[in-house]
């Protein structure tokens, strides 16, 4: 069978609507669209969708890129992809801003000066060649991110041919301790998949699986499967962590432990289970008993600050549930006792019979293939020792991600030639002698194994981005390695190793080899094309038998040892927005508020309220945190939601990006200048020791005590949410599990419409669009905010404007807290235009810019708006956003704008439209098919991306539609119902297991 | 409507003759001195700053003013309502007091009417300054167009457009009608080009019985039309708030509450303008203590009524048991804007109480200070309704503080300059005391003594 | 037949009144009285023989036109552009009453002003022959239009009534 060339391939794929890919992969969209006879069946105005893989973090979710006129304008999850099943997180959405980043390298740089690409490649090739010939390959080092697909194999092959040092797959969040613990407990150097969805009783020791931990997007969906209230049932989730993380906020019970005591608690639980004989049948009792020899419940209680009774209750319920699952991550997966703690957790899982059932090594996580941090330390020493002559950094940023004490930055100076392959400038590229620009994953071919048996396929969703009409002179990493490798080794194209003319061909060969494993029978062409359409191939996971090793019994759990004389333990946690910091150059991620603190832009130090009070620190005061290894300065955020002994700082900010956009941003005229636009905040890594944790080889994030000092300065934080106490306004409502079950079984739905009205009933000829939002399902991940922002051309306005209540997001995720600080009940409430039937905003508009459509939408006519802002005052939900300035999208960010949505100009009011453009599109398709829009024909952007399906959209006139059913649910209510605005958006109450202290039953509404 | 001289309203030892009136009024019209020009320059400069600030705001966008969510209205609407309020005294004096035949009005009504016209002209600027896209503000007018785009007549803002433009028109008509016979007097005392100009402006008025009879009828009818208008205008303006949902706005109390406040601040402004004129033009014979006393009494009464409305507001908030209303009032009185709240009370409800003392009612410095405090208090009354009201409404998520910016502050100061430049200009080219009406209340010349 | 007019200038209200009464008694009805201000006694005297002023008719017509316009504009335009706002019916009368009211006042007021001009024959381009600038100061004038042969008797009448000055 002839190898299909690129062009003819696209002819094939074009049938699937892959049109614009050709447009994309051609020289550029701008040059293609005006063609009178468009090549490769380009149809301007018709979007094409491409399956690919998200590479914003190593979990590798499947995604679908929407290409419109040769430009990717929106990312959505790939429903077929097993690891995320159609949804995406904030970081994935913001991937677009990496693709269209104004600071993207236009071409190769040498010492910061632009040079010709081939010249730059020759420089590298010659150096490689020289070293290889001189049998000096050992002086070549290659560091890349985690690449579990063909590119990884190509790089290893490349390294082998050059005789270079083995490639380091560097991930700042490597979870080395998890692997170490699995080596000890099960003799497996891997990280399993945790079937959270199948659990009925979930205990997590610091594993922030709703934020960053392993396959967090998939886990969020699984969590809602196990925990969301459904048919009167709800799983239980207990979370052990020193601070209230987003994950903790979603727990039925948050146990606030002293940091580093997770191991003790786990062992205590194990002891209780064994003592009471609650362990699952067929467990290796000998090993378990050995492990708990030294365990002591009271001791654990005193050390951790969690009452012994609580530990006992949790342990019993966990074991009795017979569907228990224990996770260990976050703080527990870091620091001196991490490995032992995680071994203890493994034992606990073994004791309750979770191993093999809910802990699945069959579908292992890609994180198992990360090179431990200790490799980087070794490399750094080698560099410092002058043993490295050529360092190739493939899309990694160790200068930022490694502690300064590691001396990596200095060691770079000792390397004669440092070559960085990257698409955007960062701290590391700034120090590289040679920068070879590479294409963004959305512009290149590739594949990624996001878990054992799930192999995602990446295809170019568009051509190289154009900046000022000129495509960036970048190449795909694979293509670059192939040509450079050939030059270096004097090989020629077509024969020998590295024979492939393009990485795409290598990829195809790799897939041809692997096709059998994935049941590929029949001609490879079909297999390949099917994979492209589907976004990859996946097979049923194997189920290897896993058994405890006696070594597991020899753990000695203790309290983590910390260096430094400081008063507080420093807790460094990965950011749900910036991950390990790689998201730090995306304005969208800066502007979407952190769900717990609601801080947008800048970073903050969570300081215990009592400490703050003692030291007279208020929110926004600058504090200096000093550890034996460094000091950082950042604004304080006093809170009673952290353990009194800790200070918590999120990773990911405090960058020093060299780019112009990163430094100035785009200040709207009249606003304060946005100096250090993306370089805001502080990097807590600078406080950590460089030495790897001996047991696991990982970087200990829980390792130091810090001293807190007021600097006297102030840097107020930008926090859109004024307060977390809803002042008895019942905006977010809850109902106890008992009553909820009661209602579910025989309750009648509350009659929202029965209110006597003064006005004639509004008529809806065909549709009445409406939504429901399940507060019980919403975990506050903020993905909907960015989905909306990218779909609806919502601008970012910068810190000053956000701080002054001028944030432009059409949808916001509010956190409302009830109960006490020790036992809070947190409710996350996505709030957006409620499309009220009796809308207060409409009649006050003097020019009919706001009016009610025949489909029940609250219409807003931008070009009729005069800007009296009366509607904004009169909207009780304050979801109307005003264009205070002319907001701009510096090139090429403007290429991301959705052509179907107006870009609003200065002085007009805007708000959620329930994705009107999608409704119209759906109506068009339905009309062509000669039918009405059916339920499920369309999803709004926020609904589409929601991992927990908290948002439902549809036609309220269609009684069969899911949205109608849910609106009639026994948990349904309208926000501020007593105002009689009769919104088209219905909320479903959160179901709480432990009713908040002082909380009153919110079954009824205010009279 | 001549009065028996015994009850002549002007109670001065030597009551001026008709000729004195012409003399005393006409001498105020004409070439002013350097002091006047100095003042004019100062005012003009301030106005220029205001204009520049507005230009800047149009250029960069309304964001240049300190507005935010939820305070999407702030100082502009505050000042708008303030000026509309000032604009009430004039028509009140010339219409209502005319119908009630209150003689003491005659010597102040011309100045008051001028003040009304200029105040409304100032207020009229603010909807433009406030609009996000002021260049499209004309869309609020019902002008014919082939696309059938009409304003939304259900919107209080459109009611405003009609109410205020009507009020301005009627006030101006009233003002000019009153001026005509006086301009004729100017004409007959002037010479040369001035005479010609006044001749045109006086429409050739001669004071023949034919002219007077229609004139008097029309004047009476205008007065009776203007009376409901005065009461309606501020009611309609108050609907901007009363028709809204915001706690502290949504109240049936607002119409009378606003009208009373308007009269209150209007009279304060009249005093602020009249006292200097009386001194500079030496009009003690016409603006006597009796007039000051009468105005002080009116201020006192309206202040007491206002205090009643204030207590109503608080009472209803408490008695309704409505959580939002209570929270709103509580926040106004205790949260970040409390200072403004209590400033309002002390200025509007406490200071005018000094007028219970007869002496204070005619004591010029007291009158002046109280009047200024009243204006401050009334500005803050509107501020307290708008800014803290919005800042603490239904939705705790958005609660927050509004901060003024240089831009909006400058524009507001500029609006005062705009008002004063108009008024200062007026008093030098037109009789700011009504020659005819003052004569009417003077003893009529009789040959055979008074019977 | 031609008429000449005689003017008597008075300094006092009562003398002016006297003159008017005497002239009327002698059958001179074509009088023009100039006064610096409207004086009730004189007006009363003059009005005796005249029908009521038509100003109020102007006002009435203007006002009613306003009301009609107000309701027409609002109702017609909302029917032309039938948009629902806040669940209210496109044509909802209560808010429209405000518009109608304002227009009533507006047109009524303008009509009254118009009446002054029309009925009072203003503007008057050049002063009438019998006008004297003192009439805006403190003098009253009575101008009598009479047949040339009656001039003497009129003059004597005026002077006996107490005119400071009599001229033709």
Q: What pLDDT, on the 0 to 100 scale, is given for residue A754?
A: 54
B116 belongs to a structural domain: yes
Domain count, chain C: 2
pLDDT digits (tens, 9 = 90+) for A54-86: 999 999 999 999 998 889 999 999 999 999 999
B22 belongs to a structural domain: yes
Helix (H) / strand (E) element for A451: namely: strand A446-451
pLDDT tens across the length of chain B (451 residues): 333 333 334 444 468 899 999 999 998 888 788 999 999 999 999 999 999 999 999 999 999 999 999 999 999 999 999 999 999 888 888 888 888 888 888 888 899 999 999 999 999 999 999 999 999 999 999 998 888 899 999 999 999 999 999 999 999 999 999 999 999 999 999 989 999 999 999 999 999 998 999 999 999 999 999 999 999 999 999 999 999 999 999 999 999 999 999 999 999 999 999 999 999 999 998 999 999 999 999 999 999 999 999 999 999 999 999 999 999 999 999 999 999 999 999 999 999 999 999 999 999 999 999 999 999 999 999 999 999 999 999 999 999 999 999 999 999 999 999 999 999 999 999 999 999 999 998 888 888 865 4
B267 belongs to a structural domain: yes
Q: Which residues of C touch A838 (CB under 8 A)?
A: 86-87
B378 belongs to a structural domain: yes
Q: With a cut of 80, say whether residue A43 has pLDDT above it.
A: no
Question: Which is higher by pLDDT, A785 or B109?
Answer: A785
CATH number assigned to the domain comprising residue B90: 1.20.1630.10
DSSP-assigned beta bridge partners for residue A67: A48, A72
> A37 CB contacts (<8 Å, ≥6 apart)?
none
Q: How far is A843 from chain B (nearest CA, A)?
A: 6
* Range A572-588 average pLDDT: 94
Rounded to whole angstroms, how far apart are CA atoms B46 and B117? 21
Asked if A915 and A791 count as a contact pair (C-beta separation under 8 A), the reply is yes
Q: What burial class does residue A357 get, using C-beta atoms within 10 Å of its C-beta: 0-12 exposed, 13-18 middle, 19+ buried?
A: middle
Residue A378 touches partner C, C-beta closer than 8 Å? no
In this structure, the number of other CB atoms found within 10 A of the CB of residue A863 comes to 11
Q: How confident is the model at residue A408 (pLDDT cuts 50, 70, 90)?
A: very high
Smallest Cβ distance to A806: which of B68, B127, B131? Answer: B68
Residue C84 touches partner A, C-beta closer than 8 Å? yes
Could you please report the per-residue DSSP string of C17-47? HHHHHHHHHTT---EEEE-SS--HHHHHHHH
Asked if A604 and A717 count as a contact pair (C-beta separation under 8 A), the reply is yes
Judge: B208–C47 Cβ closer than 8 Å, yes or no.
no
* Range A837-844 average pLDDT: 94
Helix (H) / strand (E) element for A447: namely: strand A446-451
In A600-757, where do the E strands start and end?
605-608, 621-627, 630-639, 646-650, 705-714, 734-736
pLDDT digits (tens, 9 = 90+) for A290-310: 999 989 999 999 999 999 999
Domain boundary among C99, C119, C139: C119
Could you please report the per-residue DSSP string of A740-805? HHHHHHHPPPP-GGGS--SSPPPP-SS--EEEEEETTT-----HHHHHHHHHTTPPP--HHHHHTT
B12 belongs to a structural domain: no
| Tokens standing for residue B325 | 């209303």
C100 belongs to a structural domain: yes
* Range A684-696 average pLDDT: 94
Q: How far is A793 from chain C (nearest CA, A)?
A: 27
Do the bridges between strand A734-736 and strand A990-992 make them parallel or antiparallel, or are there none, so unpaired? parallel
Rounded to whole angstroms, how far apart are CA atoms B16 and B283? 11
pLDDT digits (tens, 9 = 90+) for A605-620: 999 999 999 999 999 9
Q: How confident is the model at residue A756 (pLDDT cuts 50, 70, 90)?
A: low
Return the ∠ at Cα A52 (arms to A47 and A58), rounded to 5°.
140
Q: Which residues of C touch A841 (CB under 8 A)?
A: 86
Judge: B157–A844 Cβ closer than 8 Å, yes or no.
yes
| Tokens standing for residue C155 | 């003059």
DSSP assignment, residue A795? P
Q: Which domain holds residue C97?
A: 55-119
> B194 CB contacts (<8 Å, ≥6 apart)?
none
**Interface test mutation site (partner A, options C79, C84, C96, max chain A beta carbons within 10 A):** C84
Question: Which is higher by pLDDT, B169 or A888?
Answer: B169
Q: What pLDDT, on the 0 to 100 scale, is given for residue A752?
A: 60
Q: Which residues of C touch B149 (CB under 8 A)?
A: 81
B446 belongs to a structural domain: no
| Tokens standing for residue C107 | 């047109």
> A31 CB contacts (<8 Å, ≥6 apart)?
none
Chain B nearest-CA residue for A808: B69
Give SS3 for B57.
helix
Cβ-count burial A546-575 (b if 16+ within 10 Å, e if not)? bebeeebbebebbbbebebebebbbbbbbb
Q: What pLDDT, on the 0 to 100 scale, is given for residue A747?
A: 76
Q: How confident is the model at residue A108 (pLDDT cuts 50, 70, 90)?
A: very high
* Range A249-264 average pLDDT: 94
C69 belongs to a structural domain: yes
pLDDT digits (tens, 9 = 90+) for A706-738: 999 999 999 999 999 999 999 999 999 999 999
Question: What φ, ψ does residue A409 adopt, rounded to 5°?
Answer: -60, -45
Q: Which residues of C touch B158 (CB under 8 A)?
A: 99
Asked if A920 and A754 count as a contact pair (C-beta separation under 8 A), the reply is no
Rounded to whole angstroms, how far apart are CA atoms A553 and A292? 8
Sign of the dihedral defined by the CA atoms of residues A888, A891, A895, A896, in that order:
negative
Rounded to whole angstroms, how far apart are CA atoms A95 and A464? 15
B238 belongs to a structural domain: yes
Q: How far is A836 from chain C (nearest CA, A)?
A: 8
> Both C156 and C140 in a single domain?
yes
Q: How far is A711 from chain B (nearest CA, A)?
A: 26
Return the ∠ at Cα A497 (arms to A494 and A499), rounded to 5°.
20
Distances (CA, A) of A492 to A47, A436, A783, C41: 40, 22, 47, 124
Neighbours of chain B (3+ CB pairs under 8 A): A, C
Q: What pLDDT, on the 0 to 100 scale, is given for residue A998?
A: 58
Rounded to whole angstroms, how far apart are CA atoms A196 and A365? 14
Judge: B204–C124 Cβ closer than 8 Å, yes or no.
yes
Residue C1 touches partner A, C-beta closer than 8 Å? no
- Among residues 53-82 of chain C, which lie with CB inside 8 Å of chain B? 53, 55-56, 58-59, 63, 73-74, 77-78, 80-81
C105 belongs to a structural domain: yes
Q: Which domain holds residue B85?
A: 18-441
> Both C43 and C61 in a single domain?
no
Judge: C87–A762 Cβ closer than 8 Å, yes or no.
yes
Q: Which residues of B touch A805 (CB under 8 A)?
A: 68-70, 398, 400
B2 belongs to a structural domain: no
Virtual CA dihedral for C85, C91, C97, C98, nearest 10 degrees?
A: 30
> Both C102 and C148 in a single domain?
no
Could you please report the per-residue DSSP string of B298-323? HHHHHHHHHHHHHHHHHHHHHHH--H
Asked if A83 and A450 count as a contact pair (C-beta separation under 8 A), the reply is yes
Measured between its terminal Cα atoms, the distance across chain A in Å is: 76
In B320-451, where do the E strands start and end?
none
C148 belongs to a structural domain: yes
pLDDT digits (tens, 9 = 90+) for C59-100: 999 999 999 999 999 999 999 888 999 989 999 999 999 999
Judge: C39–B444 Cβ closer than 8 Å, yes or no.
yes
Q: What pLDDT, on the 0 to 100 scale, is given for residue A97?
A: 96
Rounded to whole angstroms, how far apart are CA atoms B379 and B372? 11
Q: How far is C54 from chain B (nearest CA, A)?
A: 8
Domain count, chain B: 1
Rounded to whole angstroms, how far apart are CA atoms A662 and A660? 5
Query: Does pTM top 0.90 for this prediction?
Result: yes
Judge: A867–B400 Cβ closer than 8 Å, yes or no.
no
Q: With a cut of 70, say whether residue A393 has pLDDT above it.
A: yes
| Tokens standing for residue A904 | 């609003």
C37 belongs to a structural domain: yes
Q: How confident is the model at residue A443 (pLDDT cuts 50, 70, 90)?
A: very high
Do the bridges between strand A446-451 and strand A454-458 make them parallel or antiparallel, or are there none, so unpaired? antiparallel
DSSP assignment, residue A406? G
> B208 CB contacts (<8 Å, ≥6 apart)?
C32, C33, C34, C128, C131
Judge: A848–C89 Cβ closer than 8 Å, yes or no.
no
Asked if A879 and A912 count as a contact pair (C-beta separation under 8 A), the reply is yes
Q: Which residues of B touch A731 (CB under 8 A)?
A: 395-397
Q: Which residues of A touch B157 (CB under 8 A)?
A: 844, 846, 868, 870
C124 belongs to a structural domain: no
Virtual CA dihedral for C134, C138, C142, C143, nearest 10 degrees?
A: 10
Sign of the dihedral defined by the CA atoms of residues A609, A613, A615, A619, in that order:
positive
Give SS3 for B418.
helix
- Cis omega before residue C138 (within 30°)? no
**Interface test mutation site (partner C, options A765, A852, A980, max chain C beta carbons within 10 A):** A852
Chain B nearest-CA residue for C96: B153
Asked if A193 and A360 count as a contact pair (C-beta separation under 8 A), the reply is yes
> Both C46 and C59 in a single domain?
no
**How large is the ipTM?**
0.93
Asked if A913 and A930 count as a contact pair (C-beta separation under 8 A), the reply is no
| Tokens standing for residue A115 | 């040079």
Give SS3 for B260.
helix
C12 belongs to a structural domain: yes
Rounded to whole angstroms, how far apart are CA atoms A923 and A931? 9
Asked if A712 and A622 count as a contact pair (C-beta separation under 8 A), the reply is yes
* Range C112-136 average pLDDT: 91
Rounded to whole angstroms, how far apart are CA atoms A309 and B35? 88
Judge: A805–B327 Cβ closer than 8 Å, yes or no.
no
């Amino acid at each position: 069978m002839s190898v299909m060339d690129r062009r003819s391939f696209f002819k094939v794929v074009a049938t699937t609507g892959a049109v614009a890919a050709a447009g994309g992969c051609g020289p550029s969209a701008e040059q293609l669209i005006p063609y009178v006879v468009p090549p490769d069946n380009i149809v301007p105005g018709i979007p094409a969708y491409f399956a690919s893989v998200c590479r914003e973090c190593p979990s590798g979710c499947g995604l679908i890129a929407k290409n419109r006129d040769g430009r990717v304008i929106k990312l959505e999850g790939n429903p077929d992809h097993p690891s995320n099943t159609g949804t995406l997180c904030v970081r994935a959405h913001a991937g677009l801003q990496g693709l269209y980043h104004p600071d993207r390298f236009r071409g190769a740089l040498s010492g910061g000066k632009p040079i010709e690409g081939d010249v730059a490649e020759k420089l590298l090739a010659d150096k490689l060649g020289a070293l290889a010939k001189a049998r000096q390959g050992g002086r070549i080092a290659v560091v890349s991110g985690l690449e579990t697909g063909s590119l990884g194999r190509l790089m290893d092959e490349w390294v082998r041919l050059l005789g270079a040092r083995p490639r380091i797959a560097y991930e700042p969040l490597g979870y080395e301790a998890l692997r170490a613990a699995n080596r000890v407990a099960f003799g497996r150097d891997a990280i399993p998949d945790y079937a959270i969805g199948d659990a009925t009783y979930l205990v997590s020791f610091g594993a922030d699986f709703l934020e960053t931990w392993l396959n967090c997007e998939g886990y969020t969906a699984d969590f809602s499967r196990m925990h969301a209230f459904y048919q009167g049932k709800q799983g239980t989730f207990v979370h052990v962590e020193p601070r209230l993380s987003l994950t903790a906020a979603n727990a039925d019970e948050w146990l606030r432990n002293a940091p580093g005591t997770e191991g003790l608690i786990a062992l205590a639980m194990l002891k209780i289970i064994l003592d009471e004989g609650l362990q699952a049948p067929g467990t290796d009792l000998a090993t378990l008993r050995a492990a708990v020899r030294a365990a002591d419940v009271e001791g654990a209680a005193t050390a951790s600050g969690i009452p012994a009774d609580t530990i006992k209750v949790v342990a019993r319920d966990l074991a009795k549930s017979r569907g228990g699952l224990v996770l260990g991550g976050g703080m527990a997966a870091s620091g001196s006792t991490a490995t032992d703690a995680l071994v203890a957790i493994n034992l606990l899982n073994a004791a309750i019979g979770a191993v093999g059932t809910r802990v699945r090594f069959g579908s292992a996580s890609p994180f198992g293939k990360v090179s431990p941090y200790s490799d980087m330390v070794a490399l750094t020493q080698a560099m410092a020792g002058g043993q490295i002559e050529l360092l190739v950094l493939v899309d990694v940023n160790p200068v930022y991600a490694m502690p300064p004490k590691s001396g990596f930055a200095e060691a770079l100076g000792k390397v004669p030639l440092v070559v960085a392959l990257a698409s955007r400038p960062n701290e590391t590229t700034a120090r590289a002698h040679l920068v070879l620009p590479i294409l963004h994953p959305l512009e290149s071919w590739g594949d990624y194994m996001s878990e054992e048996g799930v192999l995602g396929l990446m295809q170019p969703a568009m051509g190289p981005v154009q900046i000022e009409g000129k495509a960036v002179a970048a190449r795909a990493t694979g293509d670059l390695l192939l040509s450079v490798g050939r030059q270096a080794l004097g090989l020629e194209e077509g024969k020998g190793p590295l024979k492939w003319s393009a990485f795409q061909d290598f990829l195809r060969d790799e897939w041809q080899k692997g096709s059998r494993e994935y049941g590929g029978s029949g001609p490879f062409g079909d297999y390949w094309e099917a994979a492209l359409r589907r976004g990859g191939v996946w097979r049923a996971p194997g189920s290897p038998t896993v058994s405890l090793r006696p070594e597991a019994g020899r753990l000695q759990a203790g309290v983590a040892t910390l260096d430094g004389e400081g008063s507080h333990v420093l807790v460094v946690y990965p950011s749900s927005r910036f991950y390990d910091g790689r998201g730090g150059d995306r304005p969208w991620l800066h502007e979407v508020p952190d769900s717990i603190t609601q801080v947008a832009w800048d970073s903050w130090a969570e300081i215990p309220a009592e400490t703050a009070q003692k030291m007279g620190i208020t929110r926004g005061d600058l504090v200096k945190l000093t550890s034996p290894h460094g000091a950082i300065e950042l604004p304080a955020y006093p809170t009673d939601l952290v353990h009194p002994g800790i200070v918590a700082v999120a990773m990911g900010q405090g960058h020093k990006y060299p780019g112009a956009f990163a430094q100035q941003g785009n200040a709207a005229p009249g606003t304060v200048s946005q100096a250090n636009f993306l370089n805001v905040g502080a990097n807590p890594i600078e406080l950590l020791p460089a030495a790897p944790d001996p047991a696991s080889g990982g970087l200990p994030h829980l390792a130091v005590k810090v001293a807190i000092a007021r600097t006297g300065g102030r840097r107020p934080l930008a926090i859109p949410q004024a307060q977390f106490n809803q002042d008895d306004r019942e905006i977010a409502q809850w109902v106890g599990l008992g009553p909820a079950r009661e209602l579910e079984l025989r309750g009648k739905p509350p009659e929202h419409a029965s209110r006597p009205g003064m006005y004639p009933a509004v008529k809806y000829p065909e549709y009445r669009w409406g939504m429901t939002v399940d507060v019980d399902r919403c975990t506050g991940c903020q993905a909907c905010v960015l989905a909306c922002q990218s779909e609806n051309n919502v601008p970012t306005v910068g810190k000053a404007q956000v701080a002054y209540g001028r944030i432009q997001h059409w949808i916001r995720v509010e956190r409302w807290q009830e109960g006490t600080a020790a036992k809070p009940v947190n409710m996350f409430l996505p709030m957006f235009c409620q499309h009220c039937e009796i809308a207060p905003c409409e009649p006050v508009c003097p020019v009919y810019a706001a009016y009610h459509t025949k489909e029940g939408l609250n219409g807003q006519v931008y070009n009729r708006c005069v800007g009296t802002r009366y509607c904004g005052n009169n909207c009780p939900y304050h979801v109307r956003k005003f264009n205070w300035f002319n907001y701009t999208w510096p090139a090429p960010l403007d290429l991301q704008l959705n052509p179907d949505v107006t870009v609003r100009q200065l002085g007009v009011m805007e708000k959620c439209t329930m994705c009107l453009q999608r409704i119209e599109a759906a109506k068009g398709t339905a009309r062509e098919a000669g039918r009405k829009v059916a339920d499920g024909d369309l999803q709004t952007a926020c609904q589409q991306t929601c991992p927990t399906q908290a948002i439902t959209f549809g036609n309220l006139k269609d009684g069969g539609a899911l949205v109608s059913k849910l609106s009639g649910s026994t948990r349904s209510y309208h926000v501020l119902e007593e105002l009689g605005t009769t919104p088209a958006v219905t909320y479903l109450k959160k179901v709480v297991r432990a009713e908040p202290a002082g909380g009153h039953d919110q079954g009824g509404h205010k009279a | 409507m001549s009065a028996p001289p015994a009850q002549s309203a002007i109670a001065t030892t030597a009551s001026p003759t008709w000729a004195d009136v012409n003399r005393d009024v006409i001498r105020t019209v004409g070439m002013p001195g350097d002091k006047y020009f100095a003042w004019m320059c100062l005012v003009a400069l301030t106005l220029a700053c205001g204009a520049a600030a507005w230009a800047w705001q149009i250029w960069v966008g309304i964001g240049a003013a300190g507005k935010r969510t939820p305070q999407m209205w702030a100082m502009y609407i505050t000042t708008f309502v303030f000026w509309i309020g000032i604009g009430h005294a004039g028509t009140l004096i010339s219409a209502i007091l005319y119908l009630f035949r209150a003689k003491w009005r005659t010597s102040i009504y011309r100045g008051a009417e001028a003040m009304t016209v200029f105040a409304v002209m100032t207020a009229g600027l603010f909807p433009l300054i406030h609009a996000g896209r002021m260049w499209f503000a004309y869309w609020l007018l019902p002008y014919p167009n082939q696309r059938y785009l009409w304003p939304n007549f259900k919107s209080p803002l459109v009611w405003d457009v009609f109410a205020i433009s009507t009020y301005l028109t009627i006030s101006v008509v009233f003002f000019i009608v009153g001026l005509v016979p006086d301009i004729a007097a100017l004409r007959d005392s002037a010479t040369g080009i001035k005479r010609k100009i006044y001749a045109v402006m006086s429409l050739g008025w001669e004071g023949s019985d034919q002219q007077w009879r229609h004139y008097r009828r029309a004047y009476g009818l205008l007065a009776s039309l203007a009376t409901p208008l005065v009461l309606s205008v501020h009611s309609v303006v108050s609907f901007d708030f009363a028709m809204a949902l915001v706690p502290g706005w949504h109240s049936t109390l607002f119409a009378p509450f606003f009208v009373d406040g308007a009269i209150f601040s209007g009279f304060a402004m009249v005093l602020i303008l009249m006292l200097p004129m009386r001194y500079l033009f030496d009009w003690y014979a016409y603006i006597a203590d009796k007039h000051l006393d009468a105005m002080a009494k009116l201020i006192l009464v309206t202040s007491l009524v206002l205090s009643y409305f204030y207590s109503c507001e608080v009472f209803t908030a408490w008695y309704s048991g409505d959580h939002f209303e209570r929270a709103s009032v509580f926040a106004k009185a205790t949260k970040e804007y409390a200072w403004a709240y209590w400033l309002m009370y002390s200025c509007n409800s406490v200071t005018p109480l000094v007028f219970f003392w007869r002496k204070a009612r005619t004591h010029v410095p007291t009158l002046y200070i109280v009047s200024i405090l009243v204006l401050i208090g009334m500005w803050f009354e509107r501020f307290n309704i708008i800014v803290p009201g919005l800042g603490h409404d239904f939705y705790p998520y958005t609660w927050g503080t509004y901060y003024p910016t240089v831009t909006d502050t400058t524009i507001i100061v500029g609006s005062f300059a705009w008002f004063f430049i108009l008024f200062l200009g007026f008093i030098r080219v037109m009789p700011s005391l009504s020659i005819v009406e003052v004569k009417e209340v003077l003893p009529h010349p009789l040959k055979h003594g008074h019977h | 037949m031609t008429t000449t007019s005689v003017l008597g200038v008075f300094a006092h209200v009562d003398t002016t009144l006297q003159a008017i009464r005497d002239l009327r008694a002698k059958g001179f009805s074509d009088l023009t009285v100039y006064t610096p201000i409207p004086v009730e006694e004189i007006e009363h005297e003059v009005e005796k023989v005249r029908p009521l002023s038509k100003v109020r008719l102007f006002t009435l017509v203007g006002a009613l036109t306003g009301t009609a316009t107000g309701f027409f504009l609002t109702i017609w335009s909302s029917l032309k552009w039938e948009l629902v706002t806040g669940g209210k019916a496109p044509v909802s009368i209560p808010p429209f009453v405000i518009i109608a009211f304002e227009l009533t006042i507006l047109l009524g007021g303008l009509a009254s002003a118009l009446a002054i001009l029309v009925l009072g024959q203003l503007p008057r381009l050049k002063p009438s022959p019998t006008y004297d600038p003192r009439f805006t100061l403190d003098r009253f004038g009575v101008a009598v239009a009479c047949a040339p042969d009656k001039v003497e008797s009129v003059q004597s009448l005026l002077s006996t009534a107490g005119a400071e000055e009599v001229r033709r």
